[in-house]
Structure 1
């Protein structure tokens, strides 16, 4: 193998290492994973043949600089008959604030459920049997607090609640303050910042970065070895 060829392979290995680091960096709101009905239950009996449920993503991520995140809220009719008029509410609690739900209207503060900080009302004229309807949700998450979300499915006047998911938490027991984004899991209580400080606790990033750091070190070591070997062979050939 020529020294030029060996150096090219070394460069390719280092490039792959950096590409791996970039691909594995989490993006805020991305990679929601499968939908889950975790934390949901039927409350009041729905009309005969109607079965309403909701789902939220298994995981989301929060941009550590802007605190912004996004997710998808979905309502489903798993029954055999159309639902008729219903409404879906998307409500935030504690550190999770709902900024916007596409196609829905903001709930006035005086009408919000007790303990909530924000919410949107999504009227649905009819949800056919077997149909689903999804809504893009924009939110902010204060990682110094715990955060919860709630999805009630009700009659238009709110007198009956056919299904309610939550308030269910999104959170992380191992925050990543030094990363671009912090991944959060549905059904996990967030580990908030220590009271009296403005920074997230320095737990998690070291563990999270060690495997990547080790991989990068291995690639750089391999590159140095390849470069030394190519130079040694060239010197031998010149003799």
Structure 2
């Protein structure tokens, strides 16, 4: 089995650690963490190190830290010639220090601290500097997920932007909708089935085909009523921008 070291203790690092422990097809040798207390509930003390100088030998080192810290952490690794990958959607492979063999192990998923994730369903996007290392990356990825893709740096950048639109921005729309419900004494849960149905449509229709609502119908009277109702300037502007975008996109 492949031996893996994870460097980091945030959401992605913790979810990966749990996934490797559960998989049974790869060995999580060790996790490096500046704050070991974050991992105390996941791993025994002997599997956690707080010093990069004591990082164990492994087949692959996965850097799962903030994007801004990837280059610095990779430069601090006290070894050369080993396979080192990062998990970022927006950082190029070249940001890793060239003293080691470089790669990317990007899980396309949103990770929250207290929400468990089934890694079998998480697309894993892989990139490697050397072709022989891709086979190692793919073997490790397939030990966790049923969906593995070879994705280059520019493609991954595009994918990350797309993911922000479909996940982060969509969730912000939920937050705005939740605020409107709360302000008008309506339980947000009443919208749950609508949210689920909208999300489920992309399994059978393209997003363009699934689009509904007053914007695509060019229902000016309803749009004006909504804008009159919205007193908050930020919400009003977002409504206008999205309405215009829907109309532009759909002719």
Give the TM-score category using the shorter length. Answer: under 0.3
| Larger relative contact order (Cα-Cα within 8 Å, sequence gap ≥ 6) | 1
Which structure features the higher share of helix residues? Answer: 2
Which has the greater radius of gyration?
A: 1
TM-score, normalised to structure 2, is 0.27
